[in-house]
Structure 1
Amino acid sequence: MRARATDVRRAAVLGSPIAHSLSPVLHRTAYRELGLTGWTYDRFEVDEAALPGFLEQLGPEWAGLSLTMPLKRAVIPLLDGISETAALVDAVNTVVFTEDGRRVGDNTDIPGMVAALRERGIEQVDSAAILGAGATASSALAALARVCTGEVVAYVRSEARAAEMRQWGQRLGVEVRTADWADAAEALRAPLVVATTPSGTTDALASAVPEMPATLFDVLYDPWPTALAARWSAHGGAVVSGLDLLVHQAVLQVEQMTGRAPAPVEAMRRAGEHALAAR
């Protein structure tokens, strides 16, 4: 349904912790640019235990929700259906409330990653490396299934994580080889490196950036740049940031929730950059 400018509708981002989220900045900017004067977007601190009760008390004015950790899997049993993309990785970051009252889940992280790469001219690579093996790494693998034609090497800290990544590879149709984190410097020579680890984890790798690096996709955005991204840029490599991902997944959320397309990607990016600079 295409939203009318005067519609009074609500949306929000849920998670725990949530105070750091840039989603309100991005979505409110989109509403303003699209002329949706009756729309609001907020943030709520909600953990797994509180999620069912939160969903039950939502009224008909609600259009959708963005979800961050730890809710991306916890929400699935509470929904009426999920998209094929969300089912690929058992993770929902977007809930849209339909006119007939259904709750439908989707994952915009995966196409958001693909869009962020394509924006930098990365349509296809013949191999790639992933640093880390958490929840974001599975979404990265799903994105690489659309971009990478050959092997993906995942650098992990334990055999249990290695086994998980190999299982995800089989599920997603990606050829995954695992390697020990101690050898992670080798990853930096790949045509595409996706860093999915928490802040500070890859700092020690900055000194190992090769003289002519290819492309780094670092999913972090605060603080930015990471030590690895800064050294990568200094050596002339292309860098895709976590803000690029955040913007592109939010663009898709706005379009799904409002029915308006295209969402104003550049205005949303500028708003995100300004908000980060002010922190």
Structure 2
Amino acid sequence: MTTRTVAEARRAAVLGSPIAHSLSPVLHRAAYRELGLGTWSYDRFEVDEAALPAFVEGLDASWAGLSLTMPLKRAVIPLLDEVTATAASVEAVNTVVFTADGRRVGDNTDIPGMIAAMRERGVEKVESAAVLGAGATASSALAALSLICTGPVTAYVRSEARAQEMRGWGERLGVDVRTADWADAAGAFEAPLVVATTPAGTTDALAAAVPGAPGTLFDVLYEPWPTPLATAWGAQGGAVVGGLDLLVHQAVLQVEQMTGLTPAPLAAMREAGERALASR
């Protein structure tokens, strides 16, 4: 096995489609500056599922790793030599590290990133939770909840097919998942922890239903921010964990895996992300 040093010129990037909005380059470049990795670069590339195999095969030994966003988190799995248990649990890889001996190792930093973001806001354990939505992020949320929620998780979804999918993830992850119709989504607010995993605008109509003294809201969006739901939640005195919190914490883990340096500079990365969002 060959060895490398962080002084070597190395490359990393985020791939996805669409990708122009991604804050990942801002966060990773801020980390490189703080860590003194002046020869490292981090870019973004518009890559869809059809183009992914050729892109990965075309990478040379200067590459340290990749960050993956939709729609590539599952498409990349057949291209890897190894997938961690965390990534396998939700069949989603958002991080690929290229080892010194040329192997491609896939991981999922969204799940531990969610846990770290909630812990930062004082959420260590909850007796129950609610999830709004049923997409790929919702499955990662269930994986995170499997580690901190001691009771049932209610998923609010729009179709029976989605309900079956969420119950299936619950069985796989060891979570007691119960499902409810999206029309009753305001009922989620009775839970001590609500995780909103839906696209921008989806939960806006629910903002007026936020009760007094709610628990904790984890809204995975970071742009636009704050969402109407997050604004209403905070106005009623509830704690709010935002999408930037998740993005930063999962990026911290990516930086540590790709560079081998710990700890990654969380504060500097968050500050860079906040500046970038404020300038948009």
Distance 1:186 1:30, change over 3 A: same
- The residue number in structure 2 matching 1:139 is 140
What letter matches 2:76 in structure 1? V
What letter matches 1:241 in structure 2? G
- The residue number in structure 1 matching 2:28 is 27
- The residue number in structure 1 matching 2:185 is 184
- The residue number in structure 2 matching 1:216 is 217
- The residue matched to 2:144 in structure 1 has which SS? helix
Matched positions, count: 279
Distance in structure 1 (CA, Å) of the matches to 2:89 and 2:98: 21
- The residue number in structure 2 matching 1:116 is 117
Distance in structure 1 (CA, Å) of the matches to 2:8 and 2:265: 19
8 A contact 2:3–2:100 mirrored in 1: no
- The residue matched to 1:223 in structure 2 has which SS? coil
- The residue number in structure 2 matching 1:52 is 53
Distance in structure 2 (CA, Å) of the matches to 1:242 and 1:10: 26
Alignment of 1:174-253 (within 5 A): 174-253=175-254
Q: Residues 117-148 of structure 1: CA distance to partner in whole angstroms, max 9, x if unpaired? A: 00011000000000000010000000000110
Distance in structure 2 (CA, Å) of the matches to 1:91 and 1:64: 16
8 A contact 1:110–1:139 mirrored in 2: yes
Distance in structure 2 (CA, Å) of the matches to 1:214 and 1:277: 27
2:86 corresponds to 1:85: yes
| TM-score, structure 1 as length reference | 0.99
Distance 1:73 1:20, change over 3 A: same
Distance in structure 1 (CA, Å) of the matches to 2:41 and 2:156: 41
What letter matches 2:102 in structure 1? G
- The residue matched to 2:20 in structure 1 has which SS? coil
- The residue number in structure 2 matching 1:101 is 102
Distance in structure 2 (CA, Å) of the matches to 1:117 and 1:40: 30
Runs of 4+ in 1 over 2 A off after TM superposition: 1-6
Distance in structure 2 (CA, Å) of the matches to 1:4 and 1:210: 54
Q: Residues 183-235 of structure 1: CA distance to partner in whole angstroms, max 9, x if unpaired? A: 00010111000000000000000000011111000000000000000000111
Deviation at 1:2, TM superposition (A): 9.3
8 A contact 2:63–2:98 mirrored in 1: yes
Distance in structure 1 (CA, Å) of the matches to 2:122 and 2:168: 29
What letter matches 1:40 in structure 2? S
| TM-score, structure 2 as length reference | 0.98
Distance in structure 1 (CA, Å) of the matches to 2:142 and 2:4: 34
What letter matches 2:133 in structure 1? G
What letter matches 1:150 in structure 2? G
Distance in structure 2 (CA, Å) of the matches to 1:206 and 1:72: 31
8 A contact 1:15–1:47 mirrored in 2: yes
Deviation at 1:6, TM superposition (A): 2.6
List runs of 5+ in structure 1 lacking aligned partners. Answer: none
8 A contact 1:18–1:43 mirrored in 2: yes
- The residue number in structure 2 matching 1:61 is 62
Q: Residues 8-47 of structure 1: CA distance to partner in whole angstroms, max 9, x if unpaired? A: 0000000000000000000000000000111000000000
8 A contact 2:4–2:100 mirrored in 1: no
Q: CA RMSD in A?
A: 1.1
Distance in structure 2 (CA, Å) of the matches to 1:100 and 1:4: 14
Distance in structure 2 (CA, Å) of the matches to 1:21 and 1:105: 20
Alignment of 1:141-160 (within 5 A): 141-160=142-161
Distance in structure 2 (CA, Å) of the matches to 1:86 and 1:262: 22
Distance in structure 1 (CA, Å) of the matches to 2:3 and 2:35: 12
- The residue matched to 1:221 in structure 2 has which SS? coil
Q: Residues 132-168 of structure 1: CA distance to partner in whole angstroms, max 9, x if unpaired? A: 0001000000000011000000000000000000000
